[in-house]
Amino acid sequence: MTNHLYLVDAFAEQPFQGNPAAVCVVGECPKDPQDLERWYQKVAAEMNQAETAFLMPAPDGWALRWFTPVNEIDLCGHATMASAHILWETERAKPESAITFTTKSGKLICRQTPLGISMDFPSEPVVERDAPDGLIAGLGSQPLYVGKNRFDYFVLLDSEETVRRLQPDMAELSKVPTRGIIVTAKATGGFDFVSRAFFPLEGVPEDHVCGSAHCGLGPFWRERLKTDEMVAFQASPQRGGIVHVRCAGERVFLSGRAVTTLRGELLA
């Protein structure tokens, strides 16, 4: 059996925008669970993307796991979008059908909509916290607010310009014991809010468009903007991308488009 490998730009209207993710549709792999874990991690390190997604058929859809170059993680938006895109594009799933992924964050459902691929994700509200050591020094900017959810720290800054101009000190940010550090501000035009996302302890200094961060950004900005539906822009200097956000109780729906840039077979 063949392990099929793809590279997909998620939250992108055309190639070389948005956030690239590797997707491996697993055909042949080690049977021993510990060997399988090591194999997943080696493949992810080889691909060296923010995340590599691994897909295997499951009774009610597909089993999905995500690995950074150094760790497995519990939730990833752009690699989920990339996975759904590949399943539809390769006709492993019917275009009109929803796809159910079994993951470490429960059942995640993807559908095709006029806005692109819509992902049904858990809401991850942010609770105010004191700034931990390394955070302010690492960002080089004074926050208006610091909060945290089960994954990341969230930092509200004074303006979109400040978010865009940040040049973080990754050595300092690496002192913060967390998955990631998300900075955000109200947008000045065209979007509701902007953000950037840094994951130095996960081997990803800056994630170009982080879907799972918007599970916290959605409810955070919903409280401030008094609306359930928002259009966000993640302002990575290298790429960036648009995320459509809709808050619905304990769920957050994230939508965007994806483009395949590479198809191949994994020989190792």
Chain segment 215-261, per-residue pLDDT in tens: 999 999 999 999 999 999 999 998 999 999 999 999 999 999 999 99
Q: What is the mean pLDDT of residues 170-181?
A: 96
Determine the Cα–Cα distance for residues 121 and 251; give it in Å rounded to an integer: 6
The tokens 């059996």 sit on which residue? 1
Q: What's the rounded Cα separation, in Å, for the pair 34 and 22?
A: 22
Supply angle C-alpha 160, 162, 165, rounded to 5.
Answer: 110
pLDDT of residue 182: 98
- 144-170 residue pLDDT tens: 999 999 999 999 999 999 999 999 999
Query: CA 145 to CA 96: how far, in whole Å?
Result: 42
253 CB burial (10 A radius; 0-12, 13-18, 19+)? buried
- Which of 51, 124, 202, 206 is the catalytic position? 51
1 confidence band (pLDDT: 50, 70, 90): confident
- Is there a catalytic annotation at residue 37? no
Assign 3-class secondary structure to the chain. CCEEEEEEEECCCCCCCCEEEEEEECCCCCCCHHHHHHHHHHHHHHHCCCCEEEEEEECCEEEEEEECCCCEECCCHHHHHHHHHHHHHCCCCCCCCCEEEEECCEEEEEEEECCEEEEEEECCCCEECCCCCCHHHHHCCCCCEEEECCCEEEEECCCHHHHHHCCCCHHHHCCCCCCEEEEEEECCCCCCEEEEEEEHHHCEEEECCCCCCHHHHHHHHHHHHCCCEEEEEECCCCCCEEEEEEEECCEEEEEECEEEEEEEEECC
Provide the pLDDT confidence category of residue 199 given band limits of 50, 70 and 90.
Answer: very high
How confident is residue 174, by pLDDT bands cut at 50, 70 and 90? very high
Q: What is the pTM of this model?
A: 0.94
| pLDDT confidence bin for 18, thresholds 50/70/90 | very high
pLDDT of residue 263: 97
Domains and CATH numbers, the chain: 3-112+255-266 (3.10.310.10), 127-249 (3.10.310.10)
70 has a pLDDT exceeding 80: yes
CA atoms within 13 A on the CB side of 257: 10
**What is the C-alpha separation between 58 and 100, in angstroms, rounded?**
9
Query: Number of C-alpha atoms within 13 angstroms, CB side, residue 171?
Result: 0
Longest pairwise C-alpha distance within the chain:
54
Q: Residue range 63-81: average pLDDT? A: 96
Q: Which residue has the tokens 């399943």?
A: 87
What does DSSP say about strands 19-25 and 52-58: parallel, antiparallel, or unpaired? parallel
Residue 30 vs residue 146, higher pLDDT: 146
pLDDT bracket for residue 95 (50, 70, 90): confident
What's the gap between Cα 229 and its chain centre? Answer: 19
The answer, yes or no, to whether residue 66 has pLDDT greater than 80, is yes
CA dist 218 to 42, 115, 137, 242, 244, Å? 33, 17, 26, 13, 10
Q: Are 214 and 77 in contact (CB under 8 A)?
A: yes
